[in-house]
């Protein structure tokens, strides 16, 4: 059991990091959506996604860099920062587009559509971060 935990410790930490980021992102998304929907209508999905993701991704970057993948570099690392936020922008575009399409097709609450979309993207992002962003080899 100890060897199993050691083998998967990075992934377990990633799940925790992603989970807390997810909760932060979902909460902020919902709050921004409530405030913006009456002002800007359907565009609120995109704006709420962007605002929530900006805030939650800063938190997620710091946790992933310092606790999950434990990069040795001290201070701000511009290489991982740029790679990470390029991934965030791509993920944000995919997430908001899929939520918008799902909302238009299914007509159900945007937050309920966002959950499975972001869970799917979570798995893809783990491998991208591990292999291309926080890999020091």
Please, where are the H alpha helices in the chain? 2-7, 9-40, 43-63, 78-106, 110-128
Interval 79-103: pLDDT, tens: 888 999 999 899 888 988 998 899 9
Cβ–Cβ < 8 Å for 77, 65: yes
**pTM score of the predicted model:** 0.74
56 falls in which pLDDT band (50, 70, 90)? very high
Q: What is the per-residue pLDDT for 72?
A: 66
């Amino acid at each position: 059991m100890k060897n199993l935990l050691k083998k998967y410790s990075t992934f377990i930490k990633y799940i925790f990091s992603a989970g807390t980021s997810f909760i932060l992102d979902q909460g902020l998304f919902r709050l921004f959506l409530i405030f913006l929907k009456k002002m800007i209508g359907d565009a609120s999905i995109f704006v709420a996604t962007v605002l929530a993701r900006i805030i939650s991704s800063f938190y997620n970057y710091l946790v992933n860099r310092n606790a999950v993948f434990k990069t040795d570099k001290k201070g701000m690392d511009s290489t991982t920062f740029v790679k990470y936020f390029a991934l965030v922008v791509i993920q944000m575009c995919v997430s908001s587009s899929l939520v918008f399409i799902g909302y238009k097709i299914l007509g159900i609450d945007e937050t309920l559509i966002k959950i499975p979309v972001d869970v799917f993207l979570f798995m893809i992002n783990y491998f991208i971060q591990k292999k291309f962003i926080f890999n020091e080899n």
